[in-house]
Amino acid sequence: MLDTKVKELLNTQVNKEFYSAYLYLDFSNYYADQGLEGFANWYKVQAQEERDHAMLFMQYLQNNGCKVTLEAIEKPGKEFASFSDPLKAGYEHEQYVTGLIHAIYGAANEAKDFRTMQFLDWFVKEQGEEETNAEGLIKKFELFGSDPRALYMLDSELAARVYSAPSLVL
């Protein structure tokens, strides 16, 4: 049986992960509207990852006999003035999600819920990768984004990203 606070935080995380997917689809739509199909693809793949993260949290809760409550997904509300705006917003969002994962881990540690801590270990590592990737996109854009040829090449690089499902065993 999961600790009440841990269970609530995990359930909240399900909804936060679905919001993340929705946010990244919004970023993808922005880039598609701007004709940057590679950037759009990168965020579509990112949205798929976030959806799968939500599903992993749901499955973990269900495997532990917990009811999952799905909440309404908030509409992303950012307006973008430049191509770099979604990149920066994505990095900030990943830092926010890292904080959420750390809070769940802290609550699990406090409750001596070692199984949940072990489950979260993968997400802690994943968030490190997510932040690194988001920051890397910003750096690449800052280096190459102002040159149309280089932006085209960066867009082509991002178009090559393919989705691979997480390999976390519950």
pLDDT in tens, 10-32: 999 999 999 999 999 999 999 99
Q: Give the pLDDT of residue 78.
A: 85
Q: State the pLDDT confidence band at 169, using cuts at 50, 70 and 90.
A: low
Cα 150 → chain centroid = 27
Inter-CA distances, 93 with 62, 77, 87, Å: 27, 13, 10
The full set of domain ranges for the chain reads 4-71+81-159
When pLDDT is averaged across residues 142-153 and rounded to a whole number, the result is 92
How would you classify residue 166: left for phi > 0, otherwise alpha for psi between -120 and 50, otherwise beta? beta
Whether domain 4-71+81-159 has CATH 3.20.20.70: the reply is no
- 3-state DSSP call for residue 87? helix
Taking alpha carbons only, the member of 94, 96, 77, 78 closest to residue 86 is 78
pLDDT at 170: 61
Length of the chain as a residue count: 170
Mean pLDDT, the chain, integer: 95
Per-residue pLDDT, averaged over 135-147, amounts to: 94
- Rounded distance between C-alpha atoms, residue 34 and residue 31, angstroms: 5
Mean pLDDT of 120-139: 97
Q: Which two tokens stand for residue 29?
A: 């739509």
Q: How confident is the model over 63-118, as pLDDT tens digits? A: 999 999 999 999 998 899 999 999 999 999 999 999 999 999 999 999 999 999 99
pLDDT at residue 77 in the model: 86
